[in-house]
């Protein structure tokens, strides 16, 4: 079973439906026991980093995430779910992340507005593939994925930076390390290639 962690933040149904359309047993859950028994877990997130972090902690599910990561089974973070896996975030103050990936999450610089770009970035953008990995099978530089975000992660670990994207500047679009992977874009909204990536995750043998 693939558990989509429900801590009352984000559009979880679209993630669940995407996985089910691929034929996988996927379930939205806030039950720590469900998470404990899962084969793999997805940590979504939409909105402000601090709000997501607080809701995850207050729901009691933060410990479940840490425990599941420690089992070595596959974990996928999406959007703010990805951002929370980094060390720090600077949206409306300073917030601690889980620290699984080195780097911080900061707002796109205002200078990119002068280049004719809007903040937040909403829509399709191309990715740059940095290395080969089973999760990236069938995904190549120039492929488009769907983004919705004002803040972006800046990875400080090149070995973990799997995909990047350019929006006024180059930023981290996907990271992979050990049994943890995460995307800034929304695979569940990225049509065929997004479903392909979710399928790669569903069959990923860490």
Do 135 and 162 form a contact (C-beta atoms < 8 A)? yes
Asked if pLDDT for residue 93 goes beyond 90, the answer is: no
Q: Which of 95, 149, 161, 186 is catalytic?
A: 186
H helical segments located in 22-171 = 32-37, 49-58, 62-71, 80-83, 111-114
Confidence at 106, pLDDT banded by 50, 70, 90: very high
Q: Is position 188 annotated as part of the catalytic site?
A: yes
Segment 185-204 mean pLDDT: 97
Q: How confident is the model at residue 107 (pLDDT cuts 50, 70, 90)?
A: very high
Percent of the chain clearing pLDDT 70 (strictly above): 99
Task: Say yes or no to pLDDT of 8 above 90.
Answer: no
Work out the pLDDT band at 36, boundaries 50, 70, 90.
very high
State residue 52's pLDDT score: 86
Nearest one of 51, 184, 56, 190 to 108, comparing CA atoms: 184
Among the options 16, 79, 161, 165, which is catalytic?
Answer: 79
Q: Which helix (H) or strand (E) holds 28?
A: strand 26-29
Mean pLDDT of 181-201: 97
Mean pLDDT of the chain: 93
Q: Is the CB of residue 43 less than 8 Å from the CB of residue 61?
A: no
Is the model's pLDDT at 7 over the cut of 90? no
Per the CB < 8 A criterion, the answer to whether 12 and 28 are in contact is yes
Among residues of the chain, what percentage have pLDDT more than 90?
79
Domains and CATH numbers, the chain: 2-202 (3.40.50.880)
Of the pLDDT bands very low, low, confident and very high (cuts 50, 70, 90), residue 81 is: very high
- Would you say 42 and 3 are in contact if contact means Cβ atoms under 8 Å apart? yes
Mean pLDDT over 133-156 rounds to 96
Comparing 7 with 66, the larger pLDDT belongs to 66
In which residue are the tokens 């973070």 written?
77
Q: Would you call 49 helix, strand, or coil by DSSP?
A: helix
Candidates 16, 91, 161, 188; catalytic one: 188
State the pLDDT at residue 58: 87
């Amino acid at each position: 079973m693939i558990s989509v962690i429900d801590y009352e933040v984000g559009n979880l149904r679209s993630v669940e439906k995407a996985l089910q359309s691929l034929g996988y047993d996927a379930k939205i859950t806030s039950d720590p026991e469900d998470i404990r028994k899962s084969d793999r877990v997805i940590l979504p997130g939409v909105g402000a980093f601090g709000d997501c972090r607080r809701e995850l902690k207050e729901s009691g599910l933060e410990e479940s995430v840490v425990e599941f990561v420690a089992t070595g089974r596959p974990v996928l973070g999406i959007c703010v779910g990805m951002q929370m896996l980094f060390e720090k975030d600077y949206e409306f103050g300073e917030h601690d992340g889980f620290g699984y990936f080195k780097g911080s999450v900061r707002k796109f610089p205002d200078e990119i507005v002068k280049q004719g770009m809007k903040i937040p970035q909403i829509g399709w953008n191309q990715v740059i593939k940095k290395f080969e990995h089973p999760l990236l099978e069938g995904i190549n530089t120039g492929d488009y994925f769907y983004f919705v975000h004002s803040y972006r992660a800046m990875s400080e670990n090149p070995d973990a930076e799997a995909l990047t994207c350019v929006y006024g500047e180059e930023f981290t679009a996907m990271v992979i390390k050990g049994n943890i992977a995460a995307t800034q874009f929304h695979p569940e909204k990225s049509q065929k290639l997004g479903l392909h990536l979710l399928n790669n995750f569903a069959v990923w043998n860490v």
